[in-house]
Amino acid sequence: MSRYRGPRFKKIRRLGALPGLTSKDLKNQLSSRTKSGYCVRLEEKQKLRFHYGLTERQLLRYVHMARKAKGSTGQVLLQLLEMRLDNILFRLDMALTIPNARQLVNHRHILVNGRIVDIPSYRCKPRDIITTKEKEKSHTLVQNSIQFVVPKKLPDHLTLDSYQSKYKGFVNKIIDSQSACLKIQELLVVEYYSRQT
């Protein structure tokens, strides 16, 4: 299944707030209805997919990686997704949405530790330094995003410094699952995939 490119509000009405998918707010949400256990698990999985902008195959790959790692599968899954470069840019407010962050990375505007990284799924590690290229266009794109978003408290695992309109993001540590941007019951996502196999 390919990445979703359809109407974003349609997904928000069905699944609830997805801050990574769009920066706009939806005022009127549909009333809740009685849902089966399968439907609840499916919707939690879909929330994860659309928020982080993943294909079904990519999400399944992350679930397999989380199962092999030590610790709670659901928490490890959230950590893997939150430490993606496109999500880190979004959390630093250097991009309005995760698709916007992915575009910045794909167009080679972003450096990690002084090197161009053009892979949005690049997994950031503690002590990584994220900056823009030394080009006016790169600085302007990030500056416009930072000025446009409503300032919010950065999670503990990230720091953003600005000096003369140059922005530098620091990854301080691996995120803990409580600091994830998307409020989700990750255990239901793990259950969904365990029942599929």
Q: What is the pLDDT of residues 32-88, one digit of tens each?
A: 567 788 888 888 898 899 889 899 999 999 999 999 999 899 999 999 999 999 999
Using the CB atoms, write b or e for 22-36: b if 16+ within 10 Å.
beeeeeeeeeeeeee
- Residue 165, Cβ neighbours under 10 Å: how many? 11
Pairing of strands 166-171, 129-132: antiparallel
Residue 108 has a pLDDT of 94
At 126-165, the pLDDT tens digits run 999 999 998 888 888 888 888 877 767 888 899 998 876 6
Q: Where are the domains of the chain?
A: 8-81+182-196, 84-171
Core vs surface per residue 45-67: b (16+ CB within 10 A) or e: bbbbbbbbbbeeebbeebbeebe
Pairing of strands 110-112, 129-132: antiparallel
Q: What is the pLDDT of residues 86-110, one digit of tens each?
A: 999 999 989 988 999 999 999 999 9
Of residues 13 and 111, more confidently modeled: 111
Q: Are 186 and 75 in contact (CB under 8 A)?
A: yes
CA angle 51–57–61, rounded 5-degree value: 90
What pLDDT, on the 0 to 100 scale, is given for residue 115? 95
In one letter, which amino acid is 192? Y
Task: Using pLDDT thresholds of 50, 70 and 90, give the confidence band for residue 15.
Answer: low
**Is pLDDT larger for residue 171 or for residue 31?**
171
Query: And the tokens for 101?
Result: 């962050």
For residues 105 and 132, give the distance between their C-alpha atoms in angstroms, rounded to a whole number. Answer: 10
pLDDT attached to residue 31: 47
Backbone φ, ψ for residue 36 (5° rounding): -75, 165
- Which CATH number among 3.90.1150.10, 3.10.290.10, 3.40.50.300, 3.40.47.10 corresponds to the domain 84-171? 3.10.290.10
CA distance 139 to 173: 25
**How is domain 8-81+182-196 classified at the architecture level of CATH?**
Orthogonal Bundle (1.10)
